[in-house]
Amino acid sequence: MAASTLVTRYADRLGLENSENELQRRVQRTTDEVINLIDELLVAHVRSICFESLDVIAARAAGSRGAFPPTSTH
């Protein structure tokens, strides 16, 4: 995945309007502020993964099994 795509992805997860400029500004701060940004990114990423998983489960429940193969053979 290209770096700019990742920047946009994480900025979207943080709800930032001007993704690249805002992240660039925030990484040029003090170490404590950068650590806080990393923490925000981790939290946003984890929350987003949960919702992405729910989307997959909902698609399976709706009958879209062709796009999402079952994870279990039971």
Condensed to tens digits (0 to 9), the pLDDT of residues 9-67 reads 777 777 777 777 888 888 899 999 999 988 988 888 787 777 777 777 777 888 755 55
Domain membership flag for residue 29:
yes
Domain membership flag for residue 70:
no
Q: How many domains does the chain have?
A: 1
- What the block records as the tokens of 55 is 């989307």
Domain membership flag for residue 48:
yes
CA dist 22 to 14, 31, 70, 74, Å? Answer: 11, 17, 40, 47
Distance CA 32, CA 58 (A): 39
Domain membership flag for residue 41:
yes
The answer to pTM > 0.75 is no
Its domain, for residue 21, covers 3-61
Task: Looking at the chain, list the stretches that DSSP marks H as alpha helix, in order from N- to C-terminal side.
Answer: 3-14, 19-27, 31-61
Biggest CA pair distance of the chain: 52
Domain membership flag for residue 53:
yes
